[in-house]
Chain A
Amino acid sequence: MTKDQLIAKLKTIVQPYIQDEDAFNNLSEETDFINDLKINSANLVDVILDVEDEFDIRIENDDMEKMISVRAAMDVVNEKLAAK
């Protein structure tokens, strides 16, 4: 999977939970889930669960705490996929 494909998949996953449309439309690797997209903590859990389903991976508490931006989510997903 290319970087762009991964970003596109993450973008689809976060879409139902975002509160800031402009930040979503300009989503990049640098986008922060909480500060930019204004995803709340309950919905951040939904994002994590949807990422698990989409990529068939298991995300643990430590990873969850790290996954606060597009880049961090990409790192966690790539790491988990590589370990499969």
Chain B
Amino acid sequence: MTALSRGARALFLLGAAVFFGLPLLWLLLAPTRTADDLTTGAPLGFGSLGNVGDAWAHLTSYNDGEITLWIGNSVIYAAASVVLALLLCVPAGYVLAKHDFAGRRTLLTLSIVTMILPPAALVLPLYLEMSAVNLTGTVWAVILPLSFYPFGVYLAFLHFQANLPDSLLDAGRVDGASELRLFWSVALPLARPAIALIAFFGFVRCWTEFFLPFVMLSDDRTFTLQLGLMSLLQSTGAVNNSSGFADLDIHQPEAALAGLVACAPLLIGFVLAQRFLRTGLLAGAEKG
């Protein structure tokens, strides 16, 4: 590679990094600044760390610190849905990739269809289902529908398809291992990268999901962080002064801080998944 093309490459990647990074840099700096400074100061100015503490104190002044309750709720909803989704997706993806059985093609096709169905169609049916079994308003009304994750099934399916040779399974069969045993001790150990990806994308989906909790939950104490924050920021007019009027000291810096709190788990998840993915791929490469 010539020095010129190397330079062009670095320039391109860095230019993109500036484009993608600036918004978050702004958001990162915003809680250190005052609301006045945000509108009238330099775009990427820095205020003081003390302001961040104040902003957090203001956020917790909403409904006696309900924000911490929502964080807890979101963790429970997301963790339970992700774990359940993994339990459903990984075995299903494995079977769909490695076994021929009646209904296999149908399952694959129907998964695609349900994957791109717009959520507006699902409000009523899902609500009625949950209501029929008395689950509306409970954590299950959010966790159960979210753990149905066809995209995850496809990720697992693609992974096993590409990285699990039939010969490996046949060898196990010759040794007299049962089919379930094969899944547990041959397929699963090779599934690390798929699990990392499904867990990450599944987590992103559950953590940022707005629509399902909006429909299913009607008590602010059971809200997810997303739903709660929408409630908090709009009723205090934090994003724009006309959306709500409150005597609470919640303005743009508080809104930015809330946004950072809400996206931090996703970034941590990203870094973790990347690690898991890299080691998994290396392990796979060595085996292959």
> Are A and B physically bound partners?
no
